[in-house]
Homo-oligomer: A and B are copies of this chain.
Amino acid sequence: MSPVESLPEPWAGVRDRFRHRGLRWTPQRRTVVEVLAATDGHVTGAELLSRCRDRDPQTIPSTVYRTLDVLEELGLVRHGHGADGREEFHVSPGAEHGHLYCADCGQTWEIRTPQADAIVGAFRKADGFEVDLSHVTVVGRCADCAGAAGE
> Is A130 close to B, CB under 8 A?
yes
* Size of A's binding interface in residues, CB under 8 A: 36
User: How many of these chains are in the complex?
Assistant: 2
A14 contacts chain B at the CB level, 8 A cutoff: no
Q: How far is the CB of A138 from chain B (nearest CB, A)?
A: 6
Which residues of B sit under 8 angstroms from A143, Cβ to Cβ? 127-129
Nearest opposing residue in chain B for A114, CB measure: B126
Known: A85-B85, A115-B122. A127 touches B142 (CB 8 A): yes
Contact with B along A57-98 (1 / 0, CB 8 A): 000000000000000000000000101111100000000000
Residues of A within 8 A of B (CB): 81, 83-87, 100, 102-103, 109, 112, 114-115, 118-119, 121-123, 126-132, 135-143, 146-147
